């Protein structure tokens, strides 16, 4: 299989996974980009905000869309005014500020927002061959680096990874899991809210 064919198949598999999750009633995350504080017309102050860019389903180290795009997550927050008890650290305060910013940007209470995710170049075989995570293209095969420190010998075929994460998402949505699934990368590749279901 050529690299271009492998990427075409990968996009189809990602889109099919998203379609099945949507059919199962699993709500997508909201994709957004950060917009820094600025002045309009040089004088009117505008606070930092978020701009909505789409929707996608978070599957561990990947986000997939209905169109079969793949995104590498960065920061995930839940839009809420709720203040989690016992957190006094500066990082917790920053995350609370992000939650409130998501609300002020128009996201619904409780919405999961994937902020500043990176779109992977699935239509560019040369660029994908240069990727190191979370998706890599090696000799006509699309593989997943499911943990940032995983060596090439531990890369997983995309189809297997998507199947496993889809089943986990369906079980979680059905209430079959009592505990949260820990972030696979230990927080190295993405900052993930502890309450994120996936």
DSSP state of 111: -
Q: According to the model, what pLDDT value does residue 195 have? A: 41
Residue 158's contacts (CB-CB under 8 Å, 6 or more residues apart) are 10, 13, 14, 135, 142, 143, 144
Contact 60, 198 (CB under 8 A): yes
Peptide bond into 134 cis (omega under 30): yes
Three-point CA angle 134, 100, 174, nearest 5°: 55
Q: According to the model, what pLDDT value does residue 87 have? A: 53
User: Residue 33: how many CA atoms within 13 Å on its side-chain side?
Assistant: 6
Q: Quick one: pLDDT band at residue 100, thresholds 50, 70, 90?
A: confident
Q: According to the model, what pLDDT value does residue 40 have? A: 58
Q: According to the model, what pLDDT value does residue 183 have? A: 41
**30-72 confidence digits (pLDDT tens):** 999 998 766 656 666 566 789 999 999 999 999 999 999 999 9
Mean pLDDT comparison of 40-54, 86-100, 121-135, highest-scoring range: 121-135
- Alpha-carbon gap, residue 29 to 106, rounded angstroms: 14
Q: According to the model, what pLDDT value does residue 107 have? A: 81
Strands, E, within 41-120: which ranges?
A: 44-46, 49-59, 62-64, 70-72, 75-78, 112-115, 118-119
What token pair was written down for 10?
Answer: 């990968």
Q: According to the model, what pLDDT value does residue 83 have? A: 66
**141-182 confidence digits (pLDDT tens):** 999 999 989 999 999 999 999 999 999 999 988 885 544 444
- Alpha-carbon gap, residue 89 to 42, rounded angstroms: 35
Question: Rounded mean pLDDT of the chain?
Answer: 83
pLDDT at 109 over 90: no
How far apart, in Å, do the first and last CA atoms of the chain sit? 32
What token pair was written down for 113?
Answer: 């927002």
- Alpha-carbon gap, residue 143 to 162, rounded angstroms: 11
> Which residues are 142's β-sheet partners?
137
Decide which of 43 and 139 is more confident.
139
**5-33 confidence digits (pLDDT tens):** 999 999 999 999 999 999 999 999 999 99
Peptide bond into 70 cis (omega under 30): no
């Amino acid at each position: 299989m050529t690299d271009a064919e492998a990427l075409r198949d990968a996009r189809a598999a990602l889109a099919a996974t998203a379609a099945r999750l949507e059919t199962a009633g699993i709500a997508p995350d909201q994709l957004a980009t950060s917009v820094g504080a600025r002045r309009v017309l040089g004088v009117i102050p505008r606070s930092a905000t978020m701009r909505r860019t789409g929707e996608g389903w978070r599957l561990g180290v990947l986000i997939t869309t209905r169109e079969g795009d793949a995104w590498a997550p960065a920061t995930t927050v839940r839009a809420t005014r709720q203040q989690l008890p016992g957190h006094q650290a500066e990082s917790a305060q920053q995350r609370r500020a992000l939650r409130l910013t998501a609300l002020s940007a128009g996201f619904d209470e409780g919405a999961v927002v994937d902020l500043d995710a990176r779109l992977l170049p699935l239509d560019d075989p040369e660029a994908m061959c240069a990727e190191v995570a979370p998706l890599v293209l090696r000799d006509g095969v699309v593989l997943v680096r499911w943990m940032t420190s995983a060596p090439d010998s531990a890369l997983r075929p995309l189809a297997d990874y998507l199947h496993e994460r889809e089943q986990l998402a369906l079980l979680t949505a059905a209430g079959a899991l009592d505990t949260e699934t820990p972030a696979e990368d230990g927080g190295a590749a993405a900052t993930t809210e502890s309450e994120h279901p996936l």
